[in-house]
């Protein structure tokens, strides 16, 4: 049997690379060209606006990556000034919005009406089963985007100034039944007695978008969904991703965007986990070839300990670890017990 400290060391290695990979994904999703295409495809307010115009005229300032805490009412001093390219460390124990930004909806062509301002957040989610319904967390994040406006948008109970909020969740490895889908949730009136009419802008204040990528067929989906499938694919090299973004999405590849695409490929969480699985298979083949049953058992036990260690500290859900490492849930439970 492999010693626990060996498995823990391996798990820590996976975890360290996974953390870097998560940060790299967030930076990639914060690119203005990426956000503008997501907004055009999935948000009704921007569906009639060209992605280029959204990028130039609708996005306000630069997206904030990991800067704004989710669970507290005030910014934590020293939490994160910004996720610079040199220092990607998040403040320990503080959960931040992955990519938070503001946008405006242009006035109508006749120049009438107010400019609408919106608060948005994009979350990169690799585990669809984190131990609770992911959709509830998404709704909570949307609620936080609303409540946080109480400090700078609606002081003095000026609720007429409340901005619409949208929380967009990009699920990289969803169950097959959800793969290749985008679902939008929002507030809608339900007439119980009579049919009273209310202004859409007065209640249409919170939306959640769940985008589930088809990770087995990157680029198979159309529009922004296909773009994200390619960007976050663990099976496609950077050169093919860049070619797809240029030819199929019309994205201009800057030096920074090139580097971010390559970085995500190099730090691919899926590639790391696939490496463990392939290593386990190779160990079994060697064991059979050399007739050493002990070596085969030891190799398998090693990777089983790694899977259990990642489940134990919450890095992977039990089901996700079983699928990705090729063990049954019961085998991992035995190690955990």
Span 213-253, pLDDT tens digits: 998 888 889 999 999 999 988 778 888 999 998 999 999 98
Token look-up 């009639």 returns 48
% of the chain with per-residue pLDDT over 70: 70
- What pLDDT does 225 receive? 96
How far apart (Å, rounded) are the C-alpha atoms in residues 239 and 143? 39
Q: pLDDT per residue over 138-189, tens digit each?
A: 999 999 999 888 776 666 667 888 899 999 999 988 999 999 999 999 999 9
Residue scoring higher pLDDT (331 or 90):
331
Full strand arrangement of the beta sheet holding 206-212 = 59-65, 99-105, 116-125, 164-171, 206-212, 181-186
d(CA 129, CA 134): 7
What is the model's pLDDT at position 3?
42
Q: Average pLDDT for residues 309-323, to the nearest whole number?
A: 70
Residues 6+ apart with CB under 8 A from 150: none
pLDDT digits (tens, 9 = 90+) for 104-151: 987 665 555 567 889 999 999 988 888 889 999 999 999 999 988 877
Q: What is the pTM of this model?
A: 0.72
Structure tokens at 110: 């006749």
Q: 189-209, pLDDT tens digit by residue?
A: 999 999 999 998 888 999 999
What's the CA gap between 131 and 259, in Å, rounded? 34
- Angle of helix 329-336 relative to helix 318-325, nearest 10 degrees, comes to 120
Higher-pLDDT residue of 215, 79: 215
Find the range with the poorest average confidence among 6-10, 127-131, 302-306.
6-10
Q: Is the pLDDT of residue 94 over 70?
A: no
Pick the closest to residue 210 from 42, 32, 46 (CA basis).
Answer: 42
Kindly report, residue by residue over 20-64, the tens digit of the pLDDT. Answer: 778 888 989 999 999 999 999 999 999 999 999 999 999 999 999
Which has the minimum average pLDDT: 91-105, 239-253, 311-325? 311-325
The secondary structure of 152-199 as a DSSP string is TTSTTS-GGGPPEEEEEEEESS--TTTTTEEEEEE-----SSS-----
Cα(282)–Cα(77) distance, rounded to whole angstroms? 49
- pLDDT, average across residues 89-94: 44
120 phi, psi to nearest 5 deg: -135, 160
Q: Determine the pLDDT at residue 130.
A: 85
**Domain limits, the chain:** 4-9+270-336, 31-235
């Amino acid at each position: 049997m492999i010693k626990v400290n060996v498995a823990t060391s391996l798990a820590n290695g996976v975890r360290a690379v996974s953390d870097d990979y998560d940060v790299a994904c967030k930076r990639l999703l914060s690119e203005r060209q990426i956000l503008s295409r997501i907004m055009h495809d999935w948000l009704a307010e921007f569906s009639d606006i060209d992605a280029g115009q959204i990028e130039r005229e609708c996005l306000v300032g630069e997206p904030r990556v990991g800067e704004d805490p989710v669970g507290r009412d005030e910014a934590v001093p020293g939490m994160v000034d910004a996720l610079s390219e040199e220092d990607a460390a998040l403040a320990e124990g503080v959960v931040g919005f992955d990519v938070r930004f503001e946008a405006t909806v242009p006035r109508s062509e006749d120049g009438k009406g107010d400019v609408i301002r919106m608060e948005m957040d994009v979350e990169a989610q690799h585990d669809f089963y984190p131990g609770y319904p992911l959709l509830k967390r998404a709704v909570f994040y949307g609620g936080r985007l609303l409540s946080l406006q109480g400090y700078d948008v609606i002081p003095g109970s000026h609720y007429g100034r409340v901005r619409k909020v949208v929380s967009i969740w990009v699920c990289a490895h969803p169950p097959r039944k959800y793969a290749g889908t985008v679902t939008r949730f929002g507030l809608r009136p339900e007439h119980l007695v009579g049919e009273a009419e209310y202004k859409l802008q007065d209640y249409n204040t919170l939306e959640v978008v769940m985008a589930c990528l088809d990770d087995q067929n990157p680029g198979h989906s159309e529009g922004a969904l296909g773009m994200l499938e390619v960007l976050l694919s663990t099976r496609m090299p950077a050169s093919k991703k860049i070619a797809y973004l240029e030819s199929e999405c019309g994205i201009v590849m800057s030096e920074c965007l090139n580097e971010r695409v390559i970085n995500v490929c190099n730090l691919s969480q899926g590639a790391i986990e696939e490496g463990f699985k392939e290593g386990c298979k190779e160990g079994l083949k060697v064991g059979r070839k050399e007739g050493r049953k002990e070596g085969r058992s030891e190799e398998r036990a090693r990777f089983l300990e790694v899977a259990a260690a990642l489940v134990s500290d919450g890095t992977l859900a039990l089901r996700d670890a079983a699928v990705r490492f090729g063990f049954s849930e019961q085998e991992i439970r035995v190690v955990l017990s």
